[in-house]
Chains A and B, each alone.
Chain A
Amino acid sequence: MSCETLFNQPLRVINIGLEGFAEDLEAAGVPVVHLDWRPPAGGDPKMTALLASVEDE
């Protein structure tokens, strides 16, 4: 999706992280889905990097 398309559409947002950001967007009338995020691979950065490299292939 290009910037031109984005600039001509209403925002529809996936929020990952601070829940307050999702609440602010909802208050502004923006459709938002807040993910119940947990650190990937049990929070182990090495395993996360390994997971990322697998996804890259």
Chain B
Amino acid sequence: MAIRTEVLRSFYQDSVVLMRVASAIRARQGVREAAAFMGTPANQDLLEQNGLATPESRAARPDDLILAVDAADDAVAVEALGAARTLLTERRQAAGTKTRMRPRTLDAGLRALPGANLATISVPGAYAAFEARRALRGGLHVFLFSDNVPVHEEIALKREAVNRGLLCMGPDCGTAYLNGIGLGFANAVPRGRIGCVAASGTGLQAVACRIATLGEGISQGIGVGGRDLSQDVGGIMTLFALQALIAHRSTEAIVVISKPAHPDVLPKIEAALEAAGKPVVVCMLGAKFGGGRAMWVETVDQAADAVVARVSNRSWSPRPFSDPAAIRTALAGIGSGATGKAVLGLYTGGTLAHEAHLILDDLLGPKDTNRILDLGDDAYTVGRPHPMIDPQPRTDLLRKAADDSQIGVLLADLVLGTGSHQNPAEPLAAGFEQARAHAAASGRTLVGVASVVGTSGDGQGFTRQIDRLKSAGFVVLPTNAEAARFAALVANPGLASHLLEDAR
């Protein structure tokens, strides 16, 4: 075993680039582990935990790039480090030869792009507030993708934004749609007459895709970050975004997606919705229904279905499955091998994970054996990109699930669109094929249930992604809520009398 590190001084690269370099090095023959990190204190801790730290890496500064390799022998380690250096150098040279201008400072950027109106910021959290404040003071609306921004900074940024009449979408804002353009993790959805305010990136993606599937489009989709409706932040940006959509003529109806607002914040939101003068649909996952003129629904797909019905002047009521007959056929094909077994959810979308958790608890009872993991949670993402970009953590967990005799149903989401992995179905499908074969060798059944957030315009190929999941044996449902209900049905077929009543 040989551990080698190399430090490239003042060589900043973003986390996605570093993930690609580390993956390429890890794939080399004889390399057991590889890391490419900026030398921040958190990353230094990770190197120590993984046994990859050396005196050289410990001396690196936050803007130095650390390459670390654990290989079969020293020659392999040296070669691997050389390959990593070459990849990074070639990348930097390629960037330098592009015609695109790459100013170093915001002021220079503003001179290079007169009339700029938006800053998209995704730098590490420790520096995000600093950059966002500069952007706001430069008169720019802000899309703040970065997480790990202290809450007092979030409050200060949002107050400053509102005082300047600007949006501060985030921190920790995964998705937004402005003027028909998707920001961050976003799907190809048409412009339309439905406005969204979302304290959840995947929630906004899921509702926008469902609205698109139903033939409508998004006027504006404003992300506010997951903490906006907390007691501390007080809904500053939700209220500001609602006012903007209420005033926006092209927005005929509004959808609000979030976790439950803090009880101190909810009355302010309800008052704003009451005065909207437009149809409003609210999905606060896990919240009791509020009062007033707004329509409250339980799941993200219901929010899309309800708002589309409202703008189309159609009546609407929620149903467990859009096609109960197809569900009965799918259940018959699965058999009873997973009956009584536990459900394991491996999710890349936090809101989708939360929604599945609520549905399973409701249908199967809050059992410890059923587990829904949000792999985008901080516990899984320290030092590595979001699982929608880097599918490896989910693949690793899938393999472990194959050894657990209690698990009978695997539930998963697949989120397409910009920002996401270029072919996310492949690692999920391949991992499931292995897990299922492994379980079958022990005489066990592993049923895969999935839903795909995307549209036919997404670069990954919506139909191709679904087909790959199906070819691996997944049952693919039209929405996450239906997938969670189906998983519950597989574990407890007795629920059919309740969930499939319509089909009789």
Contact of A43 among B61, B182, B250 (CB under 8 A): B61
Contact of B124 among A2, A9, A39 (CB under 8 A): A39
Q: In the bound complex, do residue B130 and residue A52 qualify as a contact, i.e. CB atoms below 8 Å apart? A: yes
Q: In the bound complex, do residue A20 and residue B165 qualify as a contact, i.e. CB atoms below 8 Å apart? A: no
Q: Which residues of A contact B455 (CB under 8 A)?
A: none
Given known pairs A4-B248, A14-B118, the reply for A38 and B167 (CB within 8 Å) is no
Which of B62, B145, B146 has the most chain A CB within a 10 Å cutoff? B62
Q: Which residues of A contact B382 (CB under 8 A)?
A: none
Q: In the bound complex, do residue B104 and residue A38 qualify as a contact, i.e. CB atoms below 8 Å apart? A: yes
A42 vs B40: C-alpha distance in the bound complex, in angstroms?
11
A10 vs B106: C-alpha distance in the bound complex, in angstroms?
20
A26 vs B217: C-alpha distance in the bound complex, in angstroms?
22
Q: Is B204 on the interface with A (CB-CB < 8 A)?
A: no
Interface size for chain B: under 10, 10 to 19, 20 to 34, or 35 or more residues?
35 or more
Contact of B141 among A6, A16, A26 (CB under 8 A): A6
Contact of B10 among A4, A24, A25, A38 (CB under 8 A): A38
Contact of B130 among A7, A38, A42, A51 (CB under 8 A): A51
Q: In the bound complex, do residue B61 and residue A42 qualify as a contact, i.e. CB atoms below 8 Å apart? A: yes
Q: In the bound complex, do residue A19 and residue B145 qualify as a contact, i.e. CB atoms below 8 Å apart? A: no
Nearest B residue to A26 via CB reads B100
Q: In the bound complex, do residue A1 and residue B179 qualify as a contact, i.e. CB atoms below 8 Å apart? A: no
Q: In the bound complex, do residue A43 and residue B38 qualify as a contact, i.e. CB atoms below 8 Å apart? A: yes
Segment touching A, from B109-117, B319-327, B463-471? B109-117
Given known pairs A3-B244, A35-B102, A36-B103, the reply for A13 and B120 (CB within 8 Å) is yes
A-B contact count (CB 8 A): 168
Q: In the bound complex, do residue B15 and residue A18 qualify as a contact, i.e. CB atoms below 8 Å apart? A: yes
Chain A contributes a number of interface residues (CB within 8 A of B) equal to: 44
Q: In the bound complex, do residue B120 and residue A21 qualify as a contact, i.e. CB atoms below 8 Å apart? A: yes
A22-57 interface with B by 8 A CB criterion: 22, 24-26, 28, 30-40, 42-45, 48, 51-52, 55
A26 vs B62: C-alpha distance in the bound complex, in angstroms?
30
Q: Which residues of B contact A9 (CB under 8 A)?
A: 115, 117, 179
Nearest chain A CB to B181 CB, angstrom units = 5
Nearest B residue to A27 via CB reads B418
A30 vs B143: C-alpha distance in the bound complex, in angstroms?
15
Q: In the bound complex, do residue B38 and residue A14 qualify as a contact, i.e. CB atoms below 8 Å apart? A: no
Contact of A16 among B121, B181, B182 (CB under 8 A): B121
Q: In the bound complex, do residue A21 and residue B122 qualify as a contact, i.e. CB atoms below 8 Å apart? A: yes
B143-184 interface with A by 8 A CB criterion: 145-146, 165-167, 178-179, 181-184
Given known pairs A17-B14, A33-B109, A39-B127, the reply for A11 and B133 (CB within 8 Å) is no
Q: In the bound complex, do residue A16 and residue B119 qualify as a contact, i.e. CB atoms below 8 Å apart? A: yes
Q: Is B419 on the interface with A (CB-CB < 8 A)?
A: yes
Q: In the bound complex, do residue B126 and residue A13 qualify as a contact, i.e. CB atoms below 8 Å apart? A: no
Q: In the bound complex, do residue B12 and residue A15 qualify as a contact, i.e. CB atoms below 8 Å apart? A: no
Q: Which residues of B contact A16 (CB under 8 A)?
A: 106, 119-123, 131, 135
Nearest chain B CB to A25 CB, angstrom units = 7
Q: Which residues of A contact B244 (CB under 8 A)?
A: 3-4, 7
Q: Is B247 on the interface with A (CB-CB < 8 A)?
A: yes
Q: Is B236 on the interface with A (CB-CB < 8 A)?
A: no
What string of 1s and 0s marks CB contacts (under 8 Å) between B191-203 and chain A? 0000000000000
Q: Which residues of B contact A40 (CB under 8 A)?
A: 127, 130
Q: Is B220 on the interface with A (CB-CB < 8 A)?
A: yes
- Interface pairs (19), CB distance under 8 Å: A1-B166, A3-B141, A4-B247, A4-B248, A10-B179, A11-B181, A13-B117, A14-B110, A14-B116, A16-B121, A19-B17, A32-B113, A33-B112, A35-B104, A37-B131, A39-B12, A39-B124, A42-B61, A55-B134
Interface residues, chain A, with chain B CB atoms under 8 Å away = 1-7, 9-22, 24-26, 28, 30-40, 42-45, 48, 51-52, 55
Known contacts A16-B119, A42-B62, A42-B63; 5 additional CB pairs below 8 A are A2-B165, A13-B120, A17-B146, A38-B12, A43-B62
Interface residues, chain B, with chain A CB atoms under 8 Å away = 10, 12, 14-17, 38-40, 61-64, 95, 100-106, 109-110, 112-113, 115-124, 126-127, 129-131, 133-135, 139-141, 145-146, 165-167, 178-179, 181-184, 220, 244, 247-248, 250, 418-419
